[in-house]
Structure 1
């Protein structure tokens, strides 16, 4: 009995010494890994910051499921904690952070860990193979606050083990439902909203954006090697198992996708404007030489407009009649290119009718298929080029600052206007499908040049306008919404700061390709001195796109009953703009006349604007 007890004690001592020796060995190895990481300054490496979604030393993800050092975060602390988790922890933790492991192993030549046993990662690889990764951009949707600057996401393509070609979309978004826009902005900019990181069939995105929302999609195939693809794939798993919080201005679809691209590009993230937009991500990928090729998918509604501009109104009406009878579209005395465009217009019109009326009848689908067959048979090498100018890569930057000289009411002022995002109606909007405006938190300051008086002239919280030309094939409603603080004339014709919210609906008519005339019927509500008032606000105007990169706009706005006294204020406005494409500069001359009965006031402004 005593001998057995001695054997047990001796075995325990040997086991304890072995465990202690293994622990000391692990500690020594970990110390050497940490020392090498310090020597190589890996904590300051841009890839490490991208893996942690850190910009300007601030973590955008604060969840303890993602940051091991969340109570005392720094890039260096997180690196030490990650190495300790991977190589000093007794349990296998590589499946928690497979991307961090892959990168650290490569940089430090670390021992291999059993990443092949990570079930979630292996399932992700099987379910969504990634032989090819593309950056996808869905164009702006002003009717949806979370997508009013567009949406950017990833397209994953590959062949699975059964030989099937699969396409999936990886997207980050939040719930932007509801009509309470001020609450949505407050929640998404101050409190933060729950973020969703989803994997879905790519065709679902196509159906949503192209079919239901009639938004264009640009695809940019990325130039990545296998190691970069593996790193991105592993990082996507890390994000999918993390609680994410969406912030409109600092952690949105654009910033998340940009961090993912930075994991592959190994470049420091920097934002030129006030915040990163989806178009900025596309432009950055181009600047980093990550884009290998691109293609555009345009919704049928915009194809109708773009192709329809090549025909007269009588020709469009005739083609529409032929399509409605499901006849072969044809016009007399057409050249080869015009015949090709006729088939394209007819096909887009019928497809749009199918989408808008939910017509999935056999005859409707067969008619579209027949037009497709005729196009492939008779025009095998033709390509539609009319929409190439809408490429997001060609658009001006989304942030801007303007400096102007103002003369009004016998006083001279200097004006500074800061626009965090995105663009004015008087800016160069040729890269959009229609004349639009989108402003978020724009601030305009006036400095009286005769004294030291500095005034907040206007504060725009949110403004959106879209002048969609109406046509008999695809319809088109124009509209506007604005909210903020601006000067409005009182009953004594003195400008008073007034909080307001305004909305308008109407129609736009396009003459040729360069002149839009519009009419809107608006309704507004103003608040001043604790009192509110509802008022009518019709508006008419003309926008002309001219040679030498210029544009003119003339508008007349009638505001009725803003003080409850049935008084009418007229505002005549003329703006002449000149754009300098290479320098991202523009010059604007505006003339305003305000009139109330026999009282008048004129204002003149010359401003220089810089996009950045």
Structure 2
């Protein structure tokens, strides 16, 4: 506090170091200075900073007054070079460099910044790569994917040493062991601080590609060495500086867009995301800004395993599974009788399966020995190089926000339906760039207008998530779903009633070939319904269906039922086909028949247009 008062006292002297008030006021409104302070227009008036840490600011009210923060910074740059590591020239190298250039400051005191110099030299920034780990449905914070920045040295591209680079990451700082539900809630409400970190890229690569089995996309940006250096200098300023973290807007992707605007002043990336910043949408924005030179792809261990096993028969895959657990089978007649090329594929598949199961586990000497034996066999009889087809690029998929408008009929009563979904994909949407069987819907609203201008809330989905990962001979993942919100269900008096519900389910999915996926899940549901005597009524049931990716788009067929403890039985048959008119426009036709013990069966058909954007 004493230092702040001293600097403010220096500010009382005018003109300040050759800069008049008008010049300083103009600089304080410069987009680059506002970017350095992470300022945004306040909802009332003036400014506010996204930074929620008083230690970041030199002026007492610097979080809301860019000009006062600029003046305090300028005064601090001229402070005596005592405690050099804490001097403003060392603490704020990006601010110092910019102010020195803008005001032609030639008389700044010489300050030795050893800690910053060593840190910067170790990173040796030269070029920047935007990294996108694909969506990971089993983690609430990673359902939409993630973004981080890799900082490469000058020789990285030529000698292939990207694993030695550093990664700039922004994420929620979680203390303790919050469960997934609490983690998701606090992430939505800003209950965690967000921090920047600079870690070895190899560490993040292992986390995303191996531990979580996520594909990685690397977008090499055309930032110059000077632009990359400017960004890294600002990352030094943000060490241990707290931001409020929100999953949907002030998240990893939004913060990294801010860094890119530091690197190249004049970019307008963050203003495209006033409500939400879904990682895939931010990647599209970076692409649209002309920042991407080339794109590299790193498949996950799981994808490599499945690709290697794909040419094998079921019997050969089972043989590989046995080999992974018992390498004495290498000398068994079933293995030795195979042609050399088939045996090489089986041994490579067994090795990849063994390493896949070892992921995240403590080192096991027996497992390490099995891996060694398999590697030795592969050295004697080498497998061919793995030819892996690159999947659709995630940034080429449809945008995250969806508007819909449709017309339909329910038991002869015409209606119009209007919807908005904030994020981000369902099973029938255009699947290009999305894994088949993955559904993430957050904050979906549907309103209906019946004849006579009678409006009705049809449904309000807080979340509707499905992970229908197909089983195979080698891998048997669990398929699951969870959802909750408000929806119209069959009621006692011909009219559907609005019920509050929470549901979930688990089961299995199977790939049938030709872009077809079948699934069967057991479900549980709890519902608050005014037609029921109890406040909350539980039910168990089933949800089965078929998803077919065809030339027109996606076809879905589903049969599900709920059997309530109070005797109510509710069943539904549904069929739908979406036509993909363009990447951002679809036309969907659906038909459904509802059965309920509370009333007679009801039929419904609807045709709706769907527009995707962000």
- TM-score by structure 2 length? 0.83
Aligned to 1:348: 352
In the TM superposition, what is the alpha-carbon distance from 1:346 to its structure 2 partner?
A: 5.0
Match of 2:560 in 1: 557
Deviations 1:340-398 (A, max 9, x none): 977764553332133376555343332564587689x775xx66341x22422222211
- Tell me the distance in 2 between the aligned counterparts of 1:113 and 1:273: 40
- Residue 105 in structure 1 maps to residue 100 in structure 2: yes
Q: Contact 2:214–2:300 at 8 Å: present in 1 too?
A: yes
Residues 113/363 of structure 1: CA separation in 2 closer, same or farther (3 Å cut): farther
Contact 2:323 2:347 in 1 (8 A): no
From the superposition, tell whether residues 113 and 556 of structure 1 become closer, same or farther in structure 2 (CA, over 3 Å). Answer: farther
Q: Aligned equivalents of 2:67 and 2:345: distance in 1?
A: 60
- Name which of structure 1's ranges 139-148 and 112-121 shifts more when overlaid on structure 2: 112-121
| Partner SS, residue 55 of structure 2 | coil
Match runs of 1:185-196 below 5 Å: 185-196=184-195
- Tell me by how many angstroms 1:158 deviates: 3.8
Corresponding position of 2:4: none
Shift of 1:553: 0.4
After TM superposition, give the deviation of residue 282 of structure 1 in Å.
2.4
Shift of residue 122, structure 1, vs aligned partner: 2.0
1:45 deviation in Å?
Answer: 4.1
* SS in structure 1 at match of 2:15: helix
Q: Does 1:152 align with 2:147?
A: yes
> SS of 1:547's equivalent?
coil
Offset, 1:55: 4.2
2:61 aligned to which of 63, 70, 87: 70
Aligned counterpart in structure 2 of residue 134 of structure 1, from 92, 104, 129: 129
Measured after TM superposition, the shift of residue 514 of structure 1 is: 1.0
1:543 — aligned with what?
547
Deviations 1:395-414, CA, capped at 9 Å, x for gaps: 22111111111321432222
The equivalences for 1:158-237 within 5 A come to 158=153, 166-175=164-173, 177-179=177-179, 181=181, 183-237=182-236
Shift in Å, 1:416? 1.6
- Give the match for residue 256 of structure 2: 257
Alpha carbons of structure 1 residues 31 and 418: separation in structure 2 relative to 1, 3 Å: farther
Structure 1 pair 144–25 and aligned structure 2 pair: CA distance change class (3 A)? closer
Alignment TM-score, normalising by the size of structure 1: 0.83
1:95 corresponds, among 86, 90, 93, to 90
Note the residue ranges of structure 2 that are not aligned, 5 or more in a row.
1-9, 43-47
**Paired residues of 2:319 and 2:346 also in contact (CA < 8 A):** no
Distance in 1 separating the partners of 2:130 and 2:66? 28
Match of 1:511, SS state, is strand
Is 1:527 matched with 2:518? no
What is the Cα-based RMSD across aligned positions, in Å? 3.6
Runs of 5+ consecutive residues of structure 1 not aligned to the other structure: 1-22
Shift of 1:483: 1.2
Query: Quick one: structure 1 residues 29 and 557, their matched pair in 2 at CA, closer, same or farther if it must change by over 3 Å?
Result: same
Deviations 1:4-33 (A, max 9, x none): xxxxxxxxxxxxxxxxxxx89974354636
Over 3 Å counting, the alpha-carbon distance change for 1:241 and 1:349 in structure 2 is closer
Aligned residue in 2 for 1:568: 569
Does 2:458 align with 1:473? no
2:408 aligned with 1:406: yes
CA distance in 2, matches of 1:378, 1:308: 12
Q: Which residue of 2 aligns with 1:48?
A: 33
Q: How far, CA to CA, are the matches of 1:271 and 1:344 in structure 2?
A: 47
Moved more, 439-448 or 230-239: 439-448
Where do residues 368-383 of structure 1 align in structure 2 (5 Å cutoff)? 369-370=375-376
Offset from partner CA, 1:429-487 (integer Å, 9 cap, x none): 34233311111111112222x22332221111122101100012122211000011112
Give the greater-gyration-radius structure (CA): 1
Q: Measured at CA, do residues 317 and 190 of structure 1 come closer, stay the same or move farther in structure 2, by a change above 3 Å?
A: closer
SS class of match (2:482)? strand
